Chain A
Amino acid sequence: MIGISTIFFLETLAYASTLALLSLGLSLTYTTTRVPNFAHATIASIGTYVLLTVVGLMRLRGLNIYLYSIPAAFITVGIITLLQYVLVLKPLADRGNGLIGLMISTLALDIILMGVINIYADFLLQTFKAKKVKLQVRDQPALRSYDARIELFGQNVNVSGLVAFATLIAVAILLWLLLNKTKTGIAMRAAIENPALAEVLGVNVNRMYMLAWFLAGGLAGVGGVFMGMVQKISPAMGALLIVSVFAGSIAGGITSVFGSMLGGLLVGFAENFGPYYSSLLLNMDMTGYDKMFSLGIIVVVLLLVPGGLASLDLSGLKKRLPLLRAGGVEVSGE
């Protein structure tokens, strides 16, 4: 790409893939319970602390980091998110709480989790000291120097961007197979679309929602791992990210899981490339204005395509494509 170094592109790719993983999960939970989960990004940062723990205590380097921290983060954060649904949201919803009540409960949980992460960080600090691990638990710079490196276009680069993007693609394929080709997946889509009907057909809708929350949390945890590879690690890092995650979800169409994934990628690239190109263009430093681009995307999408990218009807385009290729003009009447 014009004027962009391979390193910058790969860092952006890692960030954008992280956002895509988070936006996708946010949509998955939103479509089940119809509550925007404001704790989603802080939940992801638990994944970052799983990474920090694994790297520090197991003294991992290179690709081993991903091999251990991705499954660990997926399971840990998946379970925590499942507990959020089972212990907080479900009981509140059963007692008749509406959207506002549930939404505020996710905000409360966000604050609580941030506190818990801080407590854990202190615990980790003691452990690191005792084991002589040279890592910070607050304001630890991204773990770039621990990453594996490869030669790409004549440059020696970190693999985080490539691993993150490959993970995202793998997740997308697996999720598509799960939702379209398995009994559980079809039952989950059914439970999301029409819970009452799914229930009368014998689907345990609550169990499907539990699975959706576990998956969403697990994917957020995986996103958290990549966050730690390209961003400064601190307990409050989720708070900075949540706006971008929502931007990705809304841009993609909040009820569409795959749309949100695309939305997350779009927002991720815009937040990095936007400030870069506008700095060049305006000849001033725009690096602090990254969120302006994600929020700008929300505004533009909501104005032009209120349903998000996923609501774009491409069927008309599909019909026209053969005509365009043939160079013909559409003739009315079939």
Chain B
Amino acid sequence: MPTALELVDVNAGYGKLHILYDISLEIPEKEITVIVGPNGSGKSTLLKTIFGLTTIYSGDVIYRGVNIAGKKPHDIAKLGIAYLPQVGNVFDNLTVEENLRMAAHDFPKTAAREAIEEALEMFPVLKAFRKRKAKTLSGGEKQMLAMAMAMIRKPDLVIFDEPTAALAPKIAVQVLKEIVRLRDEFNKTIILVEQNAKRALEIGDKAVLLVSGRIQFKGGPKELLTHPELSKLYLGLK
């Protein structure tokens, strides 16, 4: 598979707080890359770094041959990368429809309307809630809305930060199924950070284990799941 995104020797953090050390990583196109690791290992920081939300001290973030390190998030969003933050990934005080309109805010009028209808077709559950404020939705419905908002912008690369956090197990399975669907039906490249390593690695094509801001393992998900030491030490699997 060709590479969609490449990180080369990236060192990053927040202000003076250095969190990621020498991260080199290739994200293959149209696959799900799962990033796992213990709490505080820098998983979310890695995603934020790709999206220009941290301070990059050195290294390059190459997307389709262009170095996007140091670019502003709103410019990166226009390159076809979508990022779904862990919390606050919908606008609570806007209605479902306004949230979707917001995602299409820089589209021409008819294109925006079409994109919104398409997104609603992709996530039909949302159709019933068009006029409701997002804060009245359940956790799973909010997650669907967040995904619909991301899809409106027709991204090639979608970055998920713990999309199943705080969801009931049954709903979490549903959300992960949707993510698989994005890869299989819509050919999206996906980077997924998950707390529940086992569940995520089962759907992933590539696995990355992050420990204390450094990459400890890169390779196949099965390999990591069955690794005698790593899976026990860092993923709590036996």
Nearest-neighbour CB distance to chain A for B99, whole angstroms, equals: 8
Q: Which residue of B lies closest to A201 (CB)?
A: B103
Contact (Cβ within 8 A) B98 A186? yes
The main secondary structure of chain B at its interface with chain A is loop
Contact partners of B199 in chain A: CB under 8 A: none
Contact partners of B88 in chain A: CB under 8 A: 194, 196-197
Question: B74's contact among A96, A189, A194, A202, by CB below 8 Å, is which?
Answer: A202
Contact (Cβ within 8 A) B91 A202? no
Contact (Cβ within 8 A) B105 A187? yes
Question: A190's contact among B15, B77, B91, by CB below 8 Å, is which?
Answer: B91
Residues of A within 8 A of B (CB): 96, 183, 186-187, 189-190, 193-194, 196-205
Take A190-B94, A202-B105 as given contacts and tell me if A196 and B53 are in contact as well, using a CB distance cutoff of 8 Å. yes
The CA-CA distance from A236 to B183 in the complex, in Å, is 64
Take A196-B88, A197-B85, A197-B89 as given contacts and tell me if A202 and B78 are in contact as well, using a CB distance cutoff of 8 Å. yes
Contact partners of A189 in chain B: CB under 8 A: 91, 93-94
Nearest-neighbour CB distance to chain A for B138, whole angstroms, equals: 19
The CA-CA distance from A190 to B78 in the complex, in Å, is 17
Q: Confirm or deny: B70 has a beta carbon within 8 angstroms of a beta carbon on chain A.
A: no
Residues of B within 8 A of A (CB): 15, 51, 53, 72-74, 77-78, 82-83, 85, 88-94, 98, 101-103, 105-106, 149, 153
Contact (Cβ within 8 A) B77 A201? yes
Contact partners of A193 in chain B: CB under 8 A: 91-94
The CA-CA distance from A203 to B78 in the complex, in Å, is 10
Contact (Cβ within 8 A) A202 B85? no
Q: Which residue of B lies closest to A189 (CB)?
A: B94
The CA-CA distance from A202 to B53 in the complex, in Å, is 13
Q: Which 10 A-B pairs have the closest CB atoms?
A: A202-B77, A199-B73, A200-B83, A187-B105, A190-B102, A204-B74, A202-B74, A183-B105, A193-B91, A194-B88
Nearest-neighbour CB distance to chain A for B80, whole angstroms, equals: 11
The CA-CA distance from A199 to B82 in the complex, in Å, is 11
Contact partners of B90 in chain A: CB under 8 A: 197
What are 27 A-to-B residue pairs whose CB atoms are below 8 Å?
A96-B15, A183-B101, A183-B106, A186-B101, A186-B102, A187-B102, A187-B105, A190-B94, A190-B105, A193-B91, A193-B92, A193-B94, A194-B88, A194-B91, A194-B92, A196-B88, A197-B89, A199-B72, A200-B77, A200-B82, A200-B83, A200-B85, A201-B102, A202-B77, A202-B106, A203-B105, A205-B74
Contact (Cβ within 8 A) B94 A199? no
Contact partners of B72 in chain A: CB under 8 A: 199, 204
Contact partners of A186 in chain B: CB under 8 A: 94, 98, 101-102, 105
The CA-CA distance from A189 to B149 in the complex, in Å, is 16
The CA-CA distance from A235 to B153 in the complex, in Å, is 51
Contact partners of A196 in chain B: CB under 8 A: 53, 85, 88
Q: Which residue of A lies closest to B79 (CB)?
A: A202
Contact partners of B15 in chain A: CB under 8 A: 96
Contact (Cβ within 8 A) B153 A201? yes
Nearest-neighbour CB distance to chain B for A255, whole angstroms, equals: 10
Nearest-neighbour CB distance to chain B for A178, whole angstroms, equals: 14
Contact (Cβ within 8 A) B105 A199? no
Nearest-neighbour CB distance to chain A for B54, whole angstroms, equals: 12
Contact partners of B78 in chain A: CB under 8 A: 202
Q: Which residue of B lies closest to A202 (CB)?
A: B77
- Which of A96, A189, A190, A201 has the most chain B CB within a 10 Å cutoff? A201
Contact partners of A205 in chain B: CB under 8 A: 74
Contact (Cβ within 8 A) A201 B105? yes
Q: Which residue of A lies closest to B16 (CB)?
A: A96
Nearest-neighbour CB distance to chain A for B95, whole angstroms, equals: 10
Contact partners of B85 in chain A: CB under 8 A: 196-197, 200
Q: Which residue of B lies closest to A184 (CB)?
A: B105
Contact partners of A201 in chain B: CB under 8 A: 77, 102-103, 105, 149, 153
Starting from the known contacts A193-B94, A200-B74, A205-B74, 18 additional A-B residue pairs (CB-CB under 8 Å) come to A183-B105, A186-B94, A186-B102, A187-B105, A189-B94, A193-B91, A194-B91, A199-B73, A200-B73, A200-B77, A200-B83, A200-B85, A201-B149, A201-B153, A202-B74, A202-B153, A203-B105, A204-B72
Contact (Cβ within 8 A) A200 B51? yes
Nearest-neighbour CB distance to chain B for A176, whole angstroms, equals: 14
Contact (Cβ within 8 A) B93 A199? no
The CA-CA distance from A187 to B102 in the complex, in Å, is 6
